[in-house]
Amino acid sequence: MKITNICCIGAGYVGGPTMAVIAEKCPHIKVTVVDLNEARIAAWNDEDVNNIPIYEPGLNEIVAKARGRNLFFSTEVDKAIDEAELIFISVNTPTKTYGTGKGMAADLKYIELCARQIARVAKTDKIIVEKSTLPVRTAEAIKSILNNTGNGVQFQILSNPEFLAEGTAVQDLLHPDRVLIGGETSPEGQEAIETLVDVYAHWVPRERILKTNVWSSELSKLTANAFLAQRVSSINAISELCEKTEANVNEVAKAIGMDSRIGPKFLKASVGFGGSCFQKDILNLVYISKAFGLHEVADYWEQVIIMNDHQKRRFSKNIVQTLYNTVSGKKITFLGWAFKKDTNDTRESAAIYVADDLINEQANIALYDPKVGHKQVLSDLNYLETRQPAENEKYIKTFDDPYQACENAHAIAILTEWDEFKAYDWKKIYDSMLKPAFVFDGRNLLDPAEMRAIGFVYQSIGS
């Protein structure tokens, strides 16, 4: 099948950047990204390309180039489905908050709604691509819906999980380590795989495009995230041991990372991993394993989450203990709220949980993040439902200027590894704080010797 028209359902952190890159690299294909969220689509269409809803380095340039040429953002879902030969499903798949599997299983209601909508609208044969991260064997459910409620139209379902990381999404999409495409082993399935391969081959070397069966593809995505998260929890577990033994976690990470079998990436000890996917995907893996009666497998992966929760908790506990066992009425400045640098995404950010713990201890939190505003911070805290929204509002204040945020603070906590924090005039910050001036560096971002030379009582993770 020759592709001239692509539709992507879901204009989020995956759908938006992924389709922008496909449109940029395939100017002969019309790419329409649709979403039910009118405000989000309006922001994607904002005249000023700096106002698009997702902050990713380099994304606005690509959108500026392709938007209106062959890249379109729209709320007309039916129309885009009808016109497309290839439909990506890139909607959210959060952890279920109700019923069976609550707190563990992936909530597939948005996926099912998409499948039903496609079945209702499609009049010509289509290839449906699972771009969202899904439990293994979801393609079967999608296929059943499409084949039983459709109007005689032929559908092929492919799994094409996305491996981009936020903050580096554009580079990850332009130069992926691999593109994974899973499809049926039938001739029709193989033909559908080749059709999608041809789209990616416009910029990805063919040897990096991996073809598997659908189930391997679905499971590989969950496995990749589980392995990555496990590395962070592993080094974080060692960080606590380092603190007891005068070993330094950065030195340990370097030493083990030079072993080519281990490798140097993803060994940065931190206040804990965040983001919308690691926790949700591991919980999903745990749930699936339990469903098959594989309790040892489930327990093994669940420990990655348990360790991560412990790492966040012990960071806030240490702040309270170090500040003479009370932070009540004290000003604690947070530098960073996003779950990592170079993104405005705050989902599951460790900062939210640390703030929640400290507000329980009646600390006053002053906050600065270069890309996250007051409304988002409050919404993240309110989502936890620990206390009334008005209470949260009382305890948290956001600033546009980091120096103001730090003035008269008892302590600073670094929660996100934004590069700009390294360039601050730390002497000026020190002079404006109450003494002793504490810094709790949750990202091991600053130079301990320099910070101590200025006069700070400086603590980092794992040393």
Which parts of 292-331 interact with ligand NAD (CB under 6 A)?
none
Residue 357 Cβ vs ligand UGA, minimum distance, rounded to whole Å: 17
- Closest Cα to residue 454, out of 418, 413, 424? 424
Q: Which of the stretches 3-11, 138-146, 152-160, 432-440 binds ligand NAD when contact is defined by CB under 6 A?
A: 3-11
Shortest spacing between CB 274 and ligand UGA, in angstroms: 4
| H-run or E-run covering 303 | helix 295-322
Rounded Cα distance between 251 and 45, Å, is 47
Residue 256 and residue 267: Cα distance in Å, rounded?
A: 9
Q: Which does 441 bind (CB under 5 to 8 A by kind): ligand UGA, ligand NAD, none?
A: none
Number of residues engaging ligand NAD in binding (CB under 6 A)? 27
Residues forming contacts to ligand UGA in the complex (CB under 6 A) are 133, 162-166, 225, 228, 232, 266-268, 270, 273-275, 277-278, 339-340
Binding partner of residue 40 among ligand UGA, ligand NAD, none, CB cut-off 5 to 8 Å per kind: ligand NAD
Per CB under 6 A, the segment of 91-99, 282-290, 299-307, 378-386 that binds ligand NAD is 91-99
Partner interacting with residue 232 (select from ligand UGA, ligand NAD, none; CB below 5-8 Å by kind): ligand UGA
Q: Which residues contact 196 (CB under 8 A, 6 or more apart)?
A: 86, 127, 129, 158, 160, 181
Q: Give the list of residues 6+ apart from residue 301 with CB closer than 8 angstroms, or none.
A: 226, 230, 282, 285, 286, 289
Q: Which is nearer to ligand UGA, 14 or 439 (CB)?
A: 14
Q: What gap in Å lies between CA 18 and CA 28, rounded to an integer?
A: 16
Q: CB of 282 within 8 A of CB of 225?
A: yes
Segment 165-204, which members bind ligand NAD (CB under 6 A)? 166
x/- mask, ligand NAD, residues 4-43, rule CB under 6 A, reads: -----xxxxxxx------------------xxxx--x---
Residue 340 interacts with which of ligand NAD, ligand UGA, none, CB < 5 to 8 Å by class: ligand UGA
Q: Which residue is nearest to ligand NAD (CB)?
A: 12
Residue 10 contact, options ligand UGA, ligand NAD, none, Cβ 5-8 Å cut-off depending on partner type: ligand NAD
Rounded Cα distance between 78 and 195, Å, is 23
3-state helix, strand, coil in the chain (%, to 5): 50, 15, 40
Nearer to ligand NAD (CB atom), residue 14 or residue 365: 14
Note whether 129 binds ligand NAD by CB under 6 A: no
Q: Shortest gap between Cβ of 16 and ligand UGA (angstroms)?
A: 14
- Residue 20 token pair: 């922008």
Supply the residues annotated as catalytic.
Answer: 277
Of 138, 276, 308, 444, the one binding ligand NAD (CB under 6 A) is 276
β-strand partners of 30: 5
Written as six digits, the tokens of 151 are 């109007």
Upstream peptide bond of 161 is cis (omega within 30 degrees of 0) = no
Span from 55-63, 160-168, 179-187, 375-383 in contact with ligand NAD (CB under 6 A): 160-168
List 32, 70, 95, 132, residue binding ligand NAD (CB under 6 A): 132
Q: Which does 270 bind (CB under 5 to 8 A by kind): ligand UGA, ligand NAD, none?
A: ligand UGA
Compute CA distances 116 → 148, 241, 394, 430, whole Å.
10, 51, 45, 59
List the beta bridge partners of residue 367. Answer: 334, 398
Q: Does 114 bind ligand NAD (CB under 6 A)?
A: yes
Are 282 and 307 a contacting pair, CB within 8 Å?
Answer: no
The secondary element (H helix, E strand) that includes residue 240 is helix 214-245
Strands (DSSP E) contained in 85-145 are: 86-89, 126-130
Residue 304, binding choice from ligand UGA, ligand NAD, none, Cβ under 5 to 8 Å by partner class: none
Q: Residue 402: how many CB atoms within 10 A of its CB?
A: 21
Closer residue to ligand UGA in complex, CB, 189/257: 257
Element (H, E) at 155: strand 155-159
Residue 92, binding choice from ligand NAD, ligand UGA, none, Cβ under 5 to 8 Å by partner class:
ligand NAD
- Closest among 188, 129, 191, 186 to 161, alpha carbons compared: 129
Residue numbers at the binding site for ligand NAD (CB under 6 A): 9-15, 34-37, 40, 77, 90-93, 110, 113-114, 132-133, 162, 164, 166, 276-277
